[in-house]
Amino acid sequence: MRLAGTIFSNVTKMLDFYSQFNPSPLSIKQFIDFGLNACEKKSYIFLRKELPVRLANIMKEIALLPENLLRMPSVGLVNQWYERSFEEIIRFEKMEPEQKVLTEFCSRLVHIRNRHADVVQTMAQGVLELKESHEVDCGVEHSIQYFLDRFYMSRISIRMLINQHTILFGEQPVGAKQSSVNGMGNGGRHIGCIDPACDVVGVVQDAYENARFLCDRYYLASPELELLQCGVPDLRPMPVVYVPSHLYHMLFELFKNAMRAVMERHESCPPPITVNIVPGKEDVSVKMSDRGGGIPRSVSDLLFKYMYSTAPQPSKSDEHTVPLAGYGYGLPISRLYARYFHGDLCLLSCEGHGTDAVIYLKALSNEANELLPIFNKTSTKFYRPSAQLADWSGSLNTAGVAKNSREKLSPLSNSL
């Protein structure tokens, strides 16, 4: 017991130490420049410091969550995963980059990535456990929303670093090719999980076909895809420097939402879903338009909230199926993927007609910088209960909630 207590004490001290530092955001260009002349020793030296910093920053915020949420079994499990991963990484702090250490480090990163594979679902289950067992007031909901945005953004960034290292330096199966949009290989033109010529058209088509498969399964029909470039039908490739798996995730979620809306409004003869891809000087915009009846304004501001979903909650008996909707986390996490490299995801709905969703991707790779949460005094105040003002511009109406959400994300970046 004394030995276990000593280990826990040392980990706590290291957590306090690393949480003092800010994460170091990288741009897509920096990822590519390093990948083109990849050096495993340099990557190891960087990650053995950077990963503990990113883990410590978000772990400090986990400790600030409302007490009732921290007591939920699923949240406790996630907390244990993070503590264990942090402890495993800091063991390499003073190890020299010898080949045996490098191999062990890469293997450990794979184990950590696999351990955290179900973090999103497990944390979502923890929030459900809280809702089912306790009354959740507005202040607690705001704190949870603020935390989950930062928590899931941190997770995206940590997986990005781990994937780059393990893809560049890990062992690959003989004859492996990086042909899928998930970007999880080490062949072809890909640099880690980044594609310097990611074909937006190809990823759109792939996401559509997979969403269509689910739609056909549930509704026995599905809307067609109308694919445009600059408003004109065009199937030629449109390359952009990006992570194909991130773009696929966003598009797949949007297609699922659009198809569900269209099929529930037009059962027999569903109108097509239109995707218009437009390159600009600052952004490449991907606009998806459906005629699924749209969303009331009173609801549209709630769509990016983790504690709100228009679909029934998934039951445990359905855990091995892939429904068209689930915890309601698809849109908020898709927006985080878009914002991770300083893009965005926006919705504009016309109630009674349909909804437009626009994904913005940075056109220049040197401007596509990581957007990272930072633990500091500014962030801690959002976990404390505060009085809510009920004036016309205040935070008790849905417009005010959206305003407050943007303000609360400001520690991540002034651009949000």
Summarised one tens digit per residue, pLDDT across range 348-391 is: 999 999 999 999 999 999 999 999 999 987 777 787 765 444 45
Average pLDDT over residues 195-206: 97
pLDDT at 186: 41
Q: Name the band, by pLDDT with cuts 50, 70 and 90, for residue 197.
A: very high
The alpha carbon of residue 182 and the mean position of all alpha carbons in its chain are separated, in whole angstroms, by 14
Distance CA 279, CA 284 (A): 4
H or E element: which one contains 279? strand 273-279
- Residue where a domain terminates, one of 362, 391, 408: 362
Number of domains forming the structure of the chain: 2
Give the strand pairing for 273-279 and 225-229.
Answer: parallel
* 305, pLDDT greater than 70: yes
Neighbours of 302 (CB within 10 A): 17
* 183, pLDDT greater than 50: no
Quick check: is 146 in a domain?
Answer: yes
Give start and end residues of each alpha helix (H) in 294-397.
Answer: 297-300, 330-340, 377-380
Which two structure tokens, joined as six digits, stand for 270? 């569903």
* 147, pLDDT greater than 60: yes
DSSP string covering 99-129, please? HHHHHHHHHHHHHHHHHTTTHHHHHHHHHHH
pTM for the whole structure: 0.85
Do 140 and 9 share a domain, yes or no?
yes
- Residue where a domain terminates, one of 362, 384, 400: 362
Catalytic residues: 249, 253, 256-257
CATH of the domain at 214: 3.30.565.10
Q: Average pLDDT of the chain?
A: 85
Q: State which residues form the domain around 77.
A: 2-172
Quick check: is 143 in a domain?
Answer: yes
Neighbours of 286 (CB within 10 A): 27
Give start and end residues of each alpha helix (H) in 220-243.
Answer: none
* 296, pLDDT greater than 90: yes
* 298, pLDDT greater than 50: yes
Do 164 and 307 share a domain, yes or no?
no
- Residue where a domain terminates, one of 172, 206, 232: 172
